[in-house]
Amino acid sequence: MPADFPSSRAAIAGCGDAAPDARVRTGVPRLKTLLIVFHSRTGGARQMAEAAAHGASTGDVNVRLLRAADAGADDLLQADGYIFVMPENLAAIAGVMKDFFDRTYYAALERINGRAYALLVCAGSDGTNAVRQTERICTGWRLRRAAESLIVCTHAQTPEKILAAKSIGEEDLQRCADTGAALAAGLALGVF
């Protein structure tokens, strides 16, 4: 994992566990929370997750950006909507992300029904199996897919290219940001 990414649970300004939301104290309805869980080994999915978080950071929802290794069932239960971001590895959900789903699936089952989600997959050449597997997990959770699942292809198909640090293009980052913005708007407006 690149050193420039903070391991903090409050990577997006204003999204921590520390201070209670002033709106709760003043009786104004609480801001909804969009949780973005990601795993990335060579930076591609991380950039996609950060772009989604940036797009969602309009001030109308709380945005929490967590690494899959740091995220747990409580994080899912406390959020109102989700974006899952991961690479496809060996024609499957990348292992660390799969571990997140394995650790949280039964603790969250029947407790997050109907909540909205979106899915962003970073792939070297395909990505469709990671999408299919994650959508099945989310169907099991009775989540509602709120946006088209998105695959960003890094065209990494040789060992050298697969192991190299990734740089996601502006157009693809914008698609990720648009997904974040759409989820945030839907949550804020009460559509989801």
Ligand X SMILES: Cc1cc2nc3c(=O)[nH]c(=O)nc-3n(C[C@H](O)[C@H](O)[C@H](O)COP(=O)(O)O)c2cc1C
Shortest distance, position 44 Cβ to ligand X, whole Å:
3
The answer to the question of residue 81 lying near ligand X (CB under 6 A) is no
Shortest distance, position 127 Cβ to ligand X, whole Å:
5
For 143-172, b/e burial (b = at least 16 CB within 10 A) is beebbebbbbbbebeeeeebeeebebeeeb
Shortest distance, position 158 Cβ to ligand X, whole Å:
10
Among 32, 41, 67, 98, binds ligand X (CB under 6 A): 41
Among 57, 149, 154, 179, binds ligand X (CB under 6 A): 154
Q: Which of 52, 53, 84, 65 is nearest to 8 (CA)?
A: 65
Among 33, 40, 134, 149, binds ligand X (CB under 6 A): 40
Among 91, 107, 109, 191, binds ligand X (CB under 6 A): 91
Count Cα atoms within 13 angstroms, Cβ side, for 149. Answer: 20
Q: Residue 73: which residues within 8 A CB-CB, separation 6 or more?
A: 103, 104, 107, 108
Among 78, 113, 125, 139, binds ligand X (CB under 6 A): 125
Question: Residue 64 corresponds to which tokens in the numbers above?
Answer: 């929490």
Among 90, 110, 170, 171, binds ligand X (CB under 6 A): 90
Question: Closest CB to ligand X among 44 and 180?
Answer: 44
How many C-beta atoms surround the C-beta of residue 35 within 10 A?
23
What is residue 93's three-state secondary structure? Answer: strand
Question: Closest CB to ligand X among 80 and 88?
Answer: 88
End-to-end CA distance of the chain: 33
- By CB under 6 A, name the binding residues for ligand X: 40-46, 87-91, 122-127, 154, 156, 162, 166
